[in-house]
Chain A
């Protein structure tokens, strides 16, 4: 069993879980297991071509998988995987953030619905 740490911004797509346990042989399999349990996470982690997004870093324990065997990195029992997205938070005020963001009306699904980002 490996434990995947879900960062706060992505928890809304993972039924609010902070960690998810999966049975998997590699980091890639663990992430596949994660998005099949929580399909809403997929578009935040992967591109349409099925590649991990560039702004999502994945760590096995304290090491970046880019410097291991990437998604093929083997897992041991009790390993912990962390997803570390870039976060923009500082001390912003609600409306300052709204000014900085363009709202994409072309996507049918609202991508984000928080007062900090959108309103």
Chain B
């Protein structure tokens, strides 16, 4: 059952330049003049101009989607370039929307690009979504994911979903009239302390390309009303095994958002819903801190400080200050390697994991433990500028 959504198909005519540009679409029966006009009339909102948003927006612009909205308020940095292919080295430091906008207009000057330099919030989402036909979710956190889902359900806009994790991806189409929504699958987010998370973070650079192009494909199919969209199906992508699996999703009659008696009737505070308490500092202030300059001075003076590095072994390979390596996750079972009578300075990349380590060691009876404020990043900034940062 090919399912069409209510994409507003106002007639849009193509000029001769557009006919030439889209000729490889026009000569295939699945698109043709009628389909190309639907693409031109369509309005797609892309949330995020990052890993997923890059290929998504590039392909939608090239394919002739008439109106493309982009929501982002971030700035391009060097670590984005490994996967966010809409941005180039010269764009580092620019607003992502400016950078992406240049590329999209260069690919297709006929594109009507609408830039929203803002964070998507419960206050602006409904008004924004109402101006578009389809929403493509390229976000990366639970709070925005639930916000996008609920706003799509409330405004009746299909949510073309993609998510990536290291070398695994998920894709689906949620919140169509007849199909399930994200909350049918996951009514509530995991509590923050128990997020099933990664021993090693990061993402394979090509993976957002793979998943973002799948999202673009689904957007185009929804606009054309052709093929079998991923409605009611969750596609699992394993790029290492290059295996694709598909799970059936059902519309849950008890779904809080799209069920028969929905309890989600307006947008809520999604940060609170996901257990994220505003600007709260993650590091407990009672953790004793030491600055990188002081550590350097005391080490140079030959003081018997014990430096404990709680990062992962592959991070140690990138750069280290010669600390004793015990990854945070292994600390409870390797705590016997440490001498509680010695003064210990724990560090990680930026100071968050090592704060946990210090708190754990204090509970375990260690009295002279300090957290290196700012971690090895601060060391690279203020002590050893030759040290690589990551």
Contact = CB atoms under 8 A, between A and B. Distances in A.
B138 A90 contact: yes
B328 A118 contact: yes
Interface residues of B, number: 83
B76 to A, nearest CB: 11
B16 to A, nearest CB: 38
Nearest to A9: B196
Nearest to B186: A86
A50 interface: no
A81 to B, nearest CB: 12
Nearest to B330: A113
A26 B280 CA distance: 44
Contacts of B77: 93
Interface string B164-202: 111110100000000000000111111011111111111
A110 B168 CA distance: 24
Contact of B165 (A87, A108, A112, A113): A87
Interface string B192-223: 11111111111100001000000000000000
A43 interface: yes
Contact of B79 (A57, A93, A104, A109): A93
Contact of A92 (B141, B275, B363, B375): B141
B197 A116 contact: yes
B140 A89 contact: yes
Given A57-B185, A114-B197, A88 B356 contact: no
B79 A119 contact: no
A69 interface: no
B125 interface: no
Interface stretch (A29-37, A71-79, A94-102): A94-102
A109 B332 contact: yes
A87 B143 CA distance: 12
B276 interface: yes
Contacts of B315: 115
Given A12-B198, A91-B80, 8 more contacts: A64-B250, A86-B142, A86-B185, A90-B51, A91-B138, A109-B332, A112-B195, A116-B198
12 contacts: A55-B189, A57-B185, A64-B248, A86-B189, A88-B142, A89-B203, A91-B52, A91-B84, A92-B141, A103-B356, A110-B331, A118-B353
Smallest CB-CB A-B distances: 7 pairs: A116-B201, A90-B140, A91-B51, A91-B50, A113-B328, A89-B165, A92-B140
